A = this chain, B = another copy of it.
Amino acid sequence: KGYQFIAKKDLLRWVIMIFIGIFTALIACCIDIAIEEGSGVKFNFLKKQVDQCVEDGCLSIPFLYWILCNLVPVLIGSLLVVYVEPVAAGSGIPQVKCYLNGVKVPRIVRVKTLIVKAIGVTCSVLGGLAVGKEGPMIHSGAVVAAGLSQGKSTTLRKDFKLFTYFREDHEKRDFVSGGAAAGVAAAFGAPVGGVLFSLEEGASFWNQSLTWRIFFCSLISTFTLNVVLSTYHGRPGELTYSGLLNFGKFDNTSYDFIEIPLFILMGILGGLLGALFNHLNFKLTVFRIRNITKRYVKVLEAVLVSAVTATVGMGMILYTNDCKPLGDDPTKYPVQMYCGDGQYSAIGAIWFQTPEGSHKLTSILMFFAFYFFLSCWTYGLSVSSGLFIPSLLTGAAWGRVVGMGMEYMFPDKSWVNPGKYALIGAAAQLGGVVRMTISLTVILIEATGNLTLGLPLMITLLMAKWVGDYFNEGIYDTHIRLMGVPILEWEPPPLSRNIHATEVMSTPVISFSSVENVGRIIDILTNERYNGFPVVDTPMYNDGRTFGKIRGLILRSQLIVMLQHKLYNETAESWSHKGYTLKLFRDAYPRYPTIQQVHVSDEERHFTVDLRPIMNPSPYSVMHSSTLPRIFKLFRGLGLRHVIVVNDNNEVVGIVTRKDLARYRMEKHMGNMRLSELTILD
């Protein structure tokens, strides 16, 4: 296996990335087409009912039909999520973020999760919930990438024996980055934004060739989606459907200097609204974790939200009298309702489609208020759902109000374009909620196809993030924190230079000798939950503070695979190294058995096992006097999970894990910053 193997492996990485791009886009297309077709059927059915009842004067029947048309899909979606695969709830972005950050979330990249997610998000959108289909795309891409790159699936119980050399954490994570990027590229038609999303959320180390592969994967994904959707819409070869999300045309929209303060103000407003959204959602999620634990209650809540959403929507259409002449309608499905012939209900269009077009101020304000709270209530529900579209709609609504104000104040300025303010408002709202930085800016630039608006978007997002960060964290980080995942920040907390390794580390340390007793290994693995153990020379004297001279580091999974394949011997002397192949570990990856599944006879418990051929003989270690920022940079820069702390004589005195490190984080609250040491419960 020389350089030729390396070249082959490198080529295969490209080929796999191409397929990840194609399959991610195809899944996005399937979801999109299913929603499109389903909406059409639903709309035509309801329209018939309403048209008939407007004449007959009955009102309750179409209302009941509407409720039903919304309840049934939501019920199906939430049943699937609750009973089949709970990890498919929500947008999946927090989980993908954790995965890319190096924390394993169980079952997150399984095919079963993907299927539930795809059907679930179709149901949620068809059910008229305040959700979008974009977030789940990112998760779908991640699953596709994990499945394709490993050449096997646990859900399908199928091992294709392909790409076995990619079966390790690092390689798999690289492919998942590509899948997430392809998901963003498909959802927003933003290949560069996809790459930046992957980097922003995942990469701690910029790798040139990996980034290029990810970009290729994103481009392939956008291209495939474009080809399929153009063909579906009857215009093959035109390539005009660059993403699922369409902001409309912003080709020649420009802006003026004097608008910049307005963008800053809108950014601040977005930050405030986003912080409010996150605060409410945080309270709600804590309430849900405490009180909504039974499965059927989760389903009931989803159904309740669906009913309320439908009722509010119907109510607004009935009680506002916002009719527009037909013809210049921005929607595909005009709703006549109580409007005269040749007219359609503008508020109905808002509810069925996007709040574009010109509307009455009151309609938009009502839409904004209801949608804000509904989407806040919806996020965290046990259904597959994305947060991008609801945030963008909410923001576009108040952005349009700002636009109306500007038109009123400057009636004859050419740069006053209500669509632009809607876009800025959407960006501000979304930025205030998710607090993404460069990736969100580039996604919005690519989705609008207008580079000139880059600076206004950037300024808005910057203000939204700063203002929002003053109050709380982004919604994804909040949910990650509520999941109890030890995710690391980008930089070590400031002013932590006086915290030393001895304070951060866990001690006492459970360690093994290089030649260890089988019984002891089993006992320790059964009783302790650590994933990494230092291998040491037996210390000459044991004062309980040092644990022998460092020799290496061995992982729980390695020990389990060794025990499982009975790589031990009766006596320590008669040792043979046969059987230690990488293949054993690759075959078991990534779902190693637990220690309970390994059966060792009582006699074998007295055997010995040689850890030296398998352990990592030169693990990263730091001196006990090292500072927190230094350890942090080591973890973040190299993507480590364990660092051994040694004293002057290279004797192990402790071990630092991500969890130890994640305890130290900067609390920012109302402008006060302090370094807090959290207690993370297992």
Which A residues have a C-beta under 8 Å from some C-beta of B? Answer: 2-3, 6-7, 189, 191-192, 195, 199-200, 203-209, 211-212, 215-216, 219-220, 222-223, 237-239, 242, 254, 256, 437-438, 441-442, 445-446, 449, 451-452, 454-455, 458, 462, 490-491, 494-495, 549, 617-618, 620-623, 625-627, 630, 633-634, 636-638, 646, 648-650, 672-674
Find out whether the CB atom of A206 lies under 8 angstroms from the CB atom of B212. no
CA distance A148 to B207 in the complex (A): 30
Q: Which 10 residue pairs across A and B have the least CB separation, nearest first?
A: A637-B637, A618-B626, A3-B673, A212-B437, A208-B490, A6-B494, A219-B455, A618-B623, A637-B638, A206-B206
Find out whether the CB atom of B208 lies under 8 angstroms from the CB atom of A206. no
Find out whether the CB atom of B239 lies under 8 angstroms from the CB atom of A438. no
Find out whether the CB atom of A205 lies under 8 angstroms from the CB atom of B637. yes
CA distance A627 to B617 in the complex (A): 10
Identical chains bound together, number = 2
CA distance A549 to B199 in the complex (A): 40
CA distance A169 to B649 in the complex (A): 32
What's the least CB distance linking A26 to chain B, in Å? Answer: 17
What's the least CB distance linking A226 to chain B, in Å? Answer: 8
What's the least CB distance linking A342 to chain B, in Å? Answer: 35
CB within 8 A of A648: which of B191, B494, B549?
B549
Do A462 and B625 contact each other (CB < 8 Å), given the known contacts A237-B256, A451-B446, A490-B209? no
Q: Which residue of B lies closest to A449 (CB)?
A: B451
Instruction: Pick 11 A–B contacts, CB within 8 A, sort by A.
Output: A6-B673, A189-B451, A191-B451, A192-B442, A204-B206, A205-B636, A206-B206, A618-B625, A618-B626, A634-B638, A637-B638
CA distance A627 to B620 in the complex (A): 12
Find out whether the CB atom of B219 lies under 8 angstroms from the CB atom of A458. yes
Q: Which residue of B lies closest to A461 (CB)?
A: B212
CA distance A200 to B207 in the complex (A): 8
CB-CB under 8 A from A673, the residues of chain B are 3, 6-7
Q: Which residue of B lies closest to A9 (CB)?
A: B494
CB-CB under 8 A from A621, the residues of chain B are 623
CB-CB under 8 A from A451, the residues of chain B are 189, 191, 242, 446, 449
CB-CB under 8 A from A199, the residues of chain B are 206, 211
CB-CB under 8 A from A239, the residues of chain B are 254, 452
CA distance A379 to B239 in the complex (A): 40
Find out whether the CB atom of B219 lies under 8 angstroms from the CB atom of A454. yes
CA distance A7 to B626 in the complex (A): 25
Find out whether the CB atom of A633 lies under 8 angstroms from the CB atom of B625. no
Find out whether the CB atom of A630 lies under 8 angstroms from the CB atom of B618. yes
What's the least CB distance linking A300 to chain B, in Å? Answer: 40
CB within 8 A of A206: which of B205, B237, B549?
B205
CA distance A509 to B441 in the complex (A): 50
Find out whether the CB atom of B617 lies under 8 angstroms from the CB atom of A209. no
A6-B495, A208-B437 are known contacts; what are 5 more A-B pairs with Cβ within 8 Å? A3-B494, A199-B211, A549-B648, A618-B622, A638-B638
CB within 8 A of A438: which of B3, B205, B212?
B212
Q: Which residue of B lies closest to A646 (CB)?
A: B650
Do A633 and B626 contact each other (CB < 8 Å), given the known contacts A215-B438, A215-B458? no
CA distance A215 to B439 in the complex (A): 10
Find out whether the CB atom of B220 lies under 8 angstroms from the CB atom of A455. yes
CA distance A223 to B626 in the complex (A): 45
Q: Which residue of B lies closest to A193 (CB)?
A: B192
Q: Which residue of B lies closest to A1 (CB)?
A: B495
CB within 8 A of A462: which of B192, B216, B622, B634?
B216
CB-CB under 8 A from A458, the residues of chain B are 215-216, 219
CA distance A219 to B454 in the complex (A): 7
Q: Which residue of B lies closest to A537 (CB)?
A: B648
Find out whether the CB atom of A208 lies under 8 angstroms from the CB atom of B219. no
Find out whether the CB atom of A437 lies under 8 angstroms from the CB atom of B495. no
By CB atoms of chain B within 10 A, which of A206, A216, A254, A458 has the most?
A206
CA distance A423 to B189 in the complex (A): 23
CA distance A239 to B450 in the complex (A): 12
What's the least CB distance linking A625 to chain B, in Å? Answer: 5
What's the least CB distance linking A652 to chain B, in Å? Answer: 13
CA distance A195 to B452 in the complex (A): 17
CB-CB under 8 A from A618, the residues of chain B are 622-623, 625-627, 630
CB-CB under 8 A from A490, the residues of chain B are 207-209
What's the least CB distance linking A630 to chain B, in Å? Answer: 6
Q: Which residue of B lies closest to A254 (CB)?
A: B239
Q: Which residue of B lies closest to A209 (CB)?
A: B490
Q: Which residue of B lies closest to A415 (CB)?
A: B237
By CB atoms of chain B within 10 A, which of A189, A646, A650 has the most?
A650
CB-CB under 8 A from A646, the residues of chain B are 650
CB-CB under 8 A from A212, the residues of chain B are 437-438, 462
CB-CB under 8 A from A195, the residues of chain B are 438
CB-CB under 8 A from A256, the residues of chain B are 237
CA distance A220 to B674 in the complex (A): 33
CB-CB under 8 A from A215, the residues of chain B are 438, 441, 458
Do A223 and B455 contact each other (CB < 8 Å), given the known contacts A206-B203, A212-B438, A627-B618? yes
CB-CB under 8 A from A617, the residues of chain B are 625
CA distance A200 to B212 in the complex (A): 10
Find out whether the CB atom of A191 lies under 8 angstroms from the CB atom of B494. no
